[in-house]
Structure 1
Amino acid sequence: MHGWSALLSGVALALCLPPSPLGFLAPLPLVWLLGQGGFRFGFLAGLAFWAVHLVWLPLSFVALFQTPWGAAPYLPLILAKALLWGLVFGLSRGRPLARAGLWVVQEYLTSLGELAFPWGFLGYALVEAPGRVLASLGGVYLLSLVVLGVALGLFYAWQGLQKEGVILSPPVLGGVGVLLFWAGLWLMPLPAIQASQKALLVQGNINPLQKLEGVSAQETYLALTQRGLKTHPEVAVVVWPETAVAAFPPELSLALEGRELISGLETGDTNRVVRYVDGVITHFYDKNRLVPFGEYFPWNQALRPLYRFFFQTFGFGGELASRTPGQGYGPLYRYGAFICYESVFPEVARHLVQQGAGVLVLGSNDAWYGPSFGGLQHFQMGRLRAVETGRWLLRAGNDGVTAIIDPYGRVTARLPQRQPGFLAGGFGLSSTQTPYVRLGDWAVLLAGALGLLGLRIRPKRAIV
């Protein structure tokens, strides 16, 4: 029975995270997950959660590469993630407070190192709620603590009701207060914000496999930019997505007429974004957080036969070399430009704003997700970087999601996915710093303290 309840709880929680609109239900499966079992329960719940949350991986890779081997990375990834859940549950058996604190610490640890894969954070359940503005205080980790805190309140209310059997008992009244707080996060109003400048975001919708084969996208991006600027001559800056072109066409400078272009540039060794004005590249930024097994190949010598097999199976031929990571964070003049995968790392946008970025610019190539919901999930997570830093976010994707997000996390303009086009919309510049930008991931320290405190509390019988 417990095995099935673990699996069902994991599935239910996965269905509450992006791109699902059911984030308001996230505390409900967490009530059960906080009060149940140890390692085995946590492992099974994690297995079910990650199998659903990351199902886009086999769906996209099998369709993109036209081979069932595209699903090969899926099983070891969800097993590794489930083992982490099992460890957290095993350490915190019978200690709900400890489990909540260790859960957030575990989220933070998955964002560290060269194999970092920071997906599945509970805080993203609030991405569609106005209450996401709390991320400006403590980032996505604070939002995770809020979600878990609401679940803890409901857990203790349920325990109190079982013990006392009185509907108006203090624990139950506390649970009602927790529900009212949670509802407030979803119903609170947000103030209007004015845009002072206008940007043109271009979406080329270029097949990523064709780009690897050397197909040029110059004509596509030049034509879309010319059309967009003709329709919206008041545009101040143009944004092209990640690795949009390998070189800029000679006609581009004339088309821009002195406007700034922020564009991904395919260099071979690095994944680079540049600022281009009047035919000159004035600034550049190289991607620091590389995608494991996509841009960076760990243990290359030991795993060389395995890599060779998959490269040939996927139709790449030969071997793929790791890209060279950037050596630090710095804005392109006033633009805090970062690249694709880096949007799920809060510290990247935070560092760029600390260095003076007045607006965030993200170039992405989510065409690798194919027809799956992976691109939408990636987009929804990256929206919080605008809230955490108090900056507008201009997001240009090769096949989407191309959108403009305001500092409160609202999507103010957006293009349909998987079709070429351009998007003109307003944005503004800011020089202020949010508490999160100044103080960083203090919420993780709080979570760690709660975890240690919970471990010192004598365990109680789990609810059944």
Structure 2
Amino acid sequence: MNKLFTHRLMRPLAAVFVGASTTLAFAPYQIWPIAIFSPLLLLLLLSNQTPKQAAVIGYFWGLGQFATGISWVYVSIAGFGGMPLAANVFLMALLIAYLAIYPALFAFTLNKFTPSNTLSRFLFAGPALWLISDWLRGWVMTGFPWLWLGYSQIESPLGSFAPIGGVELITLTLLLCSGAAAYAILNKRYQLFLIPTVLISFGFGVRNIDWVTPNSDSTTKVALIQGNIDQAKKWLPSERWPTIMKYTELSRENWDADVVVWPEAAIPAFEFEISSFLRNLDASAKENESAIITGVVNQGEDRQFYNSVLALGVTPYGEYEYDPSERYHKHHLLPFGEFVPFEDILRPLAPFFNLPMSSFSRGDYVQPNIIANGRHMAPALCYEIIFNEQVRQNITDDTDFILTLSNDAWFGRSIGPLQHMEIAQMRALELGKPVIRSTNNGVTAVTDHKGKIIESVPQFETAVLTAELVSTTGSTPYRSFGSWPLYVWVLLSLLLCWRLKRN
């Protein structure tokens, strides 16, 4: 009996380690082939298992992946939650346990509805069901599409597929590579290794296609201010004006830039409290023929609070006045950080559910670009940059750059900010637009339209990044069509598998 129990436990235990290894495919490690090998090993572990056994294996794989891959969340819980160690560990375990449900769902449905060791299982059903589980994770409870496998390929040949079908197409390609290899191993059909070989080779070829055209006549000089403000002190009343003046002085030293960019919520005050200061800053920027973009917290006419982006100086908005309707308001809010699900139940339970600024309201899904000194920028505040479809729909024909303001100081010296930057790079590659990313303490950087970081400053230092960026004209296939071709592919794949199973 003990031997039988140990034997049944071997595959789930192996799945934990396989899942944990997946984190090495992402920043800062970027060992991208692991994103092929990890699903390959998972598919081998699922072979000849009942649906229930498969669900357990998939769940343990998910536990391994998320326990290591989102370990950075614990930094914010422990550092700012105000709860004892046991409570911190419990909350983190709860999040990991929830996210592991999605790999378990993939494994269960794959073994429930597809015959073992058939080609259709590995080349059609497997990739399609993986995408469905990813889409569900990116949608349920506002979504958490972190660690989609495609993000790990920003430096690999397969990253070249991003302008065609986004991060999801890269994920699909990875699963095709893994599925073909798994089928080849299980059935000794080694010629199937040609599929990953061809796909990777094709990625090298696609890399040379220029989907958009850099506009050499349109160069923009930007100055990104990294204030490096201690998150634990930022909102103390005594720190308000020292923080504001620090950003102001660093900006005055860079008035030669076309656009000066401060990070998310750089101003530790509500906008209506410092209107006179902002009016003076607006006039100063205009006098120097420059513009300033900053994150700010404000209160709308509905008395709801918003995490917003404000443009000052040379803008089409006229002289500064307090008008929340002329702001970009963050739409996708961070659960527990910016809003608390089921808050009537959870807020009384622990200090963690009462973090500062955890009661924001949402802006619209699609909003006008921010215009600063004639440059049109599609904003994405912090967490929003991980929602590729939202960013895509906010790009217009006039958009010059993708602008993302963030404050990853909540996550300390963890891998979280580096993964966050990797995601921002993917948005540039998908949409053919350079990304401007301004943060409180890193990663502050700018990319070209292919997602390559062209300038950055060190983390955890007060610094100013200056760079010249070139906007682009034209459109990538992904920007034009989004994920609809993949939805069709998934539907046709599942219909084909259903038909083959019936036959």
TM over 0.5: yes
Deviates more, 1:414-423 or 1:12-21: 12-21
Q: Contact conserved, 2:16 with 2:60, CA < 8 A, in 1?
A: yes
Paired residue for 2:346? 303
Q: TM-score, normalised by structure 2?
A: 0.81
Map of 1:216-231 to 2, 5 A cutoff? Answer: 216=240, 217-229=243-255
Paired residue for 2:369? 331
1:43 aligns with 2:59: yes
Distance in 1, Cα, partners of 2:201 & 2:23: 21
* Residues 183-218 of structure 1: per-residue CA shift (max 9 Å, x gap): 664695687965722111111111223223343221
For the residue of structure 1 that corresponds to 2:348, the secondary structure is helix
Paired residue for 1:87? 105
Give the letter aligned to residue 155 of structure 1: A
1:272 aligns with 2:314: no
Choose from 49, 57, 74 the match for 1:58.
74
Mark the CA change 1:44 to 1:113 in structure 2 (over 3 Å): closer, same or farther.
Answer: closer
> How much does 1:73 deviate?
2.8
Choose from 428, 440, 444 the match for 1:398.
440
Paired residue for 1:210? 233
RMSD: 2.6
Paired residue for 2:3? none
> How much does 1:63 deviate?
3.9
Paired residue for 1:262? 293
> How much does 1:255 deviate?
5.1
Mark the CA change 1:335 to 1:228 in structure 2 (over 3 Å): closer, same or farther.
Answer: same
Distance in 1, Cα, partners of 2:59 & 2:346: 27
Distance in 2, Cα, partners of 1:298 & 1:311: 10
Paired residue for 1:236? 258
Paired residue for 2:392? 350
Give the letter aligned to residue 295 of structure 2: G
Distance in 2, Cα, partners of 1:211 & 1:345: 28
Choose from 21, 24, 36 the match for 1:27.
36
Distance in 2, Cα, partners of 1:190 & 1:175: 26
Q: Contact conserved, 1:145 with 1:447, CA < 8 A, in 2?
A: no
> How much does 1:385 deviate?
0.9
For the residue of structure 1 that corresponds to 2:75, the secondary structure is helix
* Residues 262-306 of structure 1: per-residue CA shift (max 9 Å, x gap): 211122510000221256269421000011111111112232322
Give the letter aligned to residue 298 of structure 1: P
For the residue of structure 2 that corresponds to 1:244, the secondary structure is coil
Q: Contact conserved, 2:285 with 2:291, CA < 8 A, in 1?
A: no
> How much does 1:101 deviate?
1.1
Paired residue for 1:147? 174
* Residues 131-159 of structure 1: per-residue CA shift (max 9 Å, x gap): 42321111111111011111122122223
Distance in 2, Cα, partners of 1:31 & 1:325: 40
Give the letter aligned to residue 362 of structure 1: T
Q: Contact conserved, 1:99 with 1:451, CA < 8 A, in 2?
A: no
> How much does 1:114 deviate?
4.3
Give the letter aligned to residue 228 of structure 1: N
Distance in 2, Cα, partners of 1:453 & 1:7: 32
Q: Contact conserved, 2:81 with 2:352, CA < 8 A, in 1?
A: no
For the residue of structure 2 that corresponds to 1:132, the secondary structure is helix
Paired residue for 1:168? none
Choose from 464, 481, 484 the match for 1:439.
481
For the residue of structure 2 that corresponds to 1:196, the secondary structure is strand
1:424 aligns with 2:424: no
Q: Which runs of 5+ in 1 are unaligned?
A: 162-170, 460-464
Give the letter aligned to residue 243 of structure 1: A
Q: Contact conserved, 1:202 with 1:240, CA < 8 A, in 2?
A: yes
Distance in 1, Cα, partners of 2:204 & 2:77: 35
Aligned pairs, number? 440
> How much does 1:449 deviate?
3.4
Q: Contact conserved, 1:264 with 1:363, CA < 8 A, in 2?
A: yes
Choose from 353, 359, 383 the match for 1:322.
359
Deviates more, 1:320-329 or 1:134-143: 320-329
Paired residue for 2:197? 179
Distance in 2, Cα, partners of 1:212 & 1:448: 50
Q: TM-score, normalised by structure 1?
A: 0.87
Map of 1:99-178 to 2, 5 A cutoff? Answer: 99-161=126-188, 171-178=189-196
Mark the CA change 1:292 to 1:60 in structure 2 (over 3 Å): closer, same or farther.
Answer: closer
For the residue of structure 1 that corresponds to 2:233, the secondary structure is helix
Distance in 2, Cα, partners of 1:20 & 1:451: 35
Q: Contact conserved, 1:273 with 1:338, CA < 8 A, in 2?
A: no
> How much does 1:451 deviate?
4.0
Q: What is the identity percentage for the equivalent residue pairs of Structure 1 and Structure 2? A: 27
Q: Contact conserved, 2:17 with 2:61, CA < 8 A, in 1?
A: yes
Q: Contact conserved, 2:157 with 2:200, CA < 8 A, in 1?
A: no
Distance in 2, Cα, partners of 1:321 & 1:280: 28
Q: Contact conserved, 2:224 with 2:260, CA < 8 A, in 1?
A: yes
Q: Contact conserved, 1:104 with 1:444, CA < 8 A, in 2?
A: no
> How much does 1:60 deviate?
4.1
Q: Contact conserved, 1:136 with 1:436, CA < 8 A, in 2?
A: yes
> How much does 1:64 deviate?
4.9
Distance in 2, Cα, partners of 1:56 & 1:207: 18
Q: Which has the higher contact order (CA 8 A, sep 6+)?
A: 1
Q: Contact conserved, 2:126 with 2:179, CA < 8 A, in 1?
A: no
Give the letter aligned to residue 225 of structure 2: V
Choose from 122, 125, 131 the match for 1:98.
125
